[in-house]
């Protein structure tokens, strides 16, 4: 009987050891999954930050382009206005010259 009791005790010890080992494995698997999930979230945050940065840079480029286009339009308008004034002065000189010639 003694052999039988020791055998049962040994079997019970083996079952406890097996349950403990499986529990550790499940715990490790759960930790690995949680770690992978955390890394995925970090990658997701990193990806989101990268996209936000790209969008911000794109917006800055658009604003700079619009600013440059506005400056170019203003410069063209100014050149056009200056050209008009030069043309008006030419015409005014021409009229004065014609008036002077008629008077002579």
Distance CA 76, CA 4 (A): 106
pTM value is 0.45
Mean pLDDT across the stretch 18-23?
90
Distance CA 13, CA 7 (A): 10
Mean pLDDT across the stretch 11-33?
91
pLDDT, position 83: 92
pLDDT, position 2: 58
pLDDT at residue 62 tops 60 = yes
3-state secondary structure of 1: coil
């Amino acid at each position: 009987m003694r052999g039988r009791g020791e055998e049962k005790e040994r079997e019970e010890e083996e079952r406890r050891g097996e349950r403990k080992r499986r529990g550790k494995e499940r715990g490790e698997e759960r930790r690995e999954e949680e770690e992978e999930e955390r890394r995925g979230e970090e990658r997701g945050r990193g990806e989101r930050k990268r996209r936000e940065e790209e969008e911000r840079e794109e917006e800055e480029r658009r604003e700079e382009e619009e600013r440059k286009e506005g400056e170019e339009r203003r410069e063209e308008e100014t050149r056009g206005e200056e050209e008009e004034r030069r043309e008006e002065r030419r015409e005014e000189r021409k009229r004065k010259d014609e008036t002077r010639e008629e008077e002579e």
